[in-house]
Amino acid sequence: MIAKTATDKLPDHQRIVITGVGLTSPNGNSYREFRENLLNGVSGVSSYNIRYVGDTLAGVCDYDELRYQSRKAVRRGTRAGSVGIYCAHEALHDAGISLEETDKDRVGIYVGVTEHGNVETENEIFELKGYDYDTSYWSHHHNPRTVANNPAGEISLNLGITGPHYTIGAACAAGNAGIIQGAQMLLLGECDLAIAGGVSESIHTFGIFASFKSQGALAAHEDPTRASRPFDADRTGIVVAEGGCLYTLERLSDARRRGANIHAELAGYALNSDASDFVLPNPQQQAKCIRKALQRAGLAAEQISIVSTHATGTATGDAQECQALQAVFGDNCVSTYFNNTKSFIGHAMGAAGALELAGNMAGFKDQICHATINIDRLDDECSLSGLVMNEPRSLERVDYILNNSFGMLGINSVVILKQ
C-alpha cells in the first residue's frame, strides 16, 4: 500500500499526471530503448571532434531527423528544434493523443533549455569568415533560429499548436523546470494539455567545450564509454551531451476521462537559488530545495524509493551534492537508493533533468533501480548509503522517485513522482 501524499487529498482536476514520454538520448531513441540500455550498462558516450577544440568526447544522439520533418525543414531550423519536434511527436504517440481531435488552442508547450542561439551564431560567424566578414552574406534565418523561444516555437509550427509556447532558461535545471512550468499552467487552467520537459543541442557549440576545458572540468578518458564517472575518486569532469525528453502532462480528471495510460503522478516539486556563486554549488540550498519538494509532497525522506542524482562528474559538484543528500537522507533511509544517469550518457544540459527522470520512471513498473556505472573506486566524499554501483538493483517496491537537477548561477530544482 502506497502511503498517502498531499496530492491524494486533492480533487482529480488538481492532480497532474504523465501520460506520454518521448525522448532521444545518446544511448536510445525511445523510452523503452533508453531504459533497456540503462539496465544493460550500455553507454552512449563516444569520440567527438568539434571545431577549434579538436578531439574530445560527447554524448551524441542518432535519431531519425526525417521521421517528422522534411529535409528543407531540418535545414531551415535548428538542432534543438529538431530534437524537440521528434520528442513531442513521440510523447503524443505514447500518450495516444491525436491533435486532430484536440483543441490546439488549449495545448501549451514548455521547453527547458540551458542556452539557445550559440550554435547558430558560431556557425554563421565561421561561414562569414570565408567572405571576409561581409555581413551581406549573413543568414536571413539568423533571428528566428536564435531567439530564445526557438525550440518551443519550432514544435508549435511543426504540429500546428496554437496555444502558448515558450522556453524556460534554467541552466542545467531546465528539464525539471519545464515539467514544473507545464504542471503549473495546467493547474492555472491556462491549458488542458502540456508538452513539457527539456532539450539540448550543446555538443554543437565549441564554446561550451572550450569553457569547461579552461576550467579543468572537461572529462577525458582513453575509453569514451568510461569517461563519465560521477562519484568515482578518479573522475575528471563533464562529458557534454545533446538530447531531449518531453512529456505530455494532463490533469488526472482529463486523463481518466479518456482512459489514458498513466506513467506516474507529480507528487511534489521545488525550485530555489543558491545566491552564492556563479558556478560553485551550495549544498545547504540544495538540501533546502529537496526538503521543500518533500514538504510539498507531504513525504518524509525515508519514503523515497529512488533518488536520481544530478552529479556531473566534477570533483566539487559531486561532493557538494552528496553533502546535501546526506543532510536530508542521512544513513537511516534504509529503503532509499541513489543512482546517476549521466554516467551512461554524459551531461545533456537543458535536457538532463527530464531525461534522467525518464531513465528512472520505468522503475515504477519493473521495480529496478538502474546503476551508476564507471565507479571503480568510490570517492570517500561521495559515499552514500544506498548508492547503486555498476549493476542494477531489484527493489521490493518503488513508490516515489525524487529527481535532482541543479544549474549554474545557483538554480536548483527537484521533482518527485509517485506510483
Structural domains of the chain in order of their starting residue, each with its CATH number: 6-257 (3.40.47.10), 268-418 (3.40.47.10)
In the structure, what pLDDT confidence band is assigned to residue 307 with cuts at 50, 70 and 90? very high
pLDDT above 90 for 7:
no
Contacts of 193 (CB under 8 A, 6+ apart): 97, 102, 106, 107, 108, 248, 249, 250, 254
pLDDT band at 331 (very low <50, low <70, confident <90, very high): confident
Q: How far is CA 78 from CA 118, 143, 202, 347, in A?
A: 11, 12, 12, 20
Q: Write down the pLDDT at residue 3.
A: 60
- Contact between residue 86 and residue 244 where contact means Cβ atoms under 8 Å apart: yes
Relative to beta strand 411-418, strand 306-308 is unpaired
d(Cα 55, Cα 62) in Å, to the nearest integer? 19
What's the pLDDT at 135?
Answer: 95
Give the three-state DSSP class for 16.
strand
Predicted local distance difference test score (pLDDT) of residue 8: 86
What pLDDT score was predicted for residue 1? 54
Q: How far apart are CA 53 and CA 228, in angstroms?
A: 19
Q: Are the beta carbons of 219 and 240 closer than 8 angstroms?
A: no
Across the range 19-29, mean pLDDT stands at 98
Instruction: Give residue-wise pLDDT tens across range 180-238.
Output: 999 999 999 999 999 999 999 999 999 999 999 999 999 999 999 999 999 999 999 99
The residues that bridge with 400 in the sheet, in sequence order, are 418
Q: What beta strand segments (E) does 33-128 contain?
A: 45-50, 54-59, 107-113
Beta carbons of 301 and 400 less than 8 angstroms apart: no
Say if residues 119 and 205 touch (Cβ distance below 8 Å): yes
Checking if the pLDDT of 6 tops 90, the result is: no
Least confident of 5-9, 166-170, 229-233, 344-348: 5-9
Residue scoring higher pLDDT (2 or 28):
28
Q: Are 162 and 105 in contact (CB under 8 A)?
A: yes
What pLDDT shows up at residue 336? Answer: 98
Cβ count within 10 A of residue 41:
17
Burial class (CB in 10 A: 0-12, 13-18, 19+), 25: buried
pLDDT surpassing 90 at residue 5: no
Question: pLDDT tier at 389 (50, 70, 90 boundaries)?
Answer: very high
The three-state secondary structure class of 257 is: helix
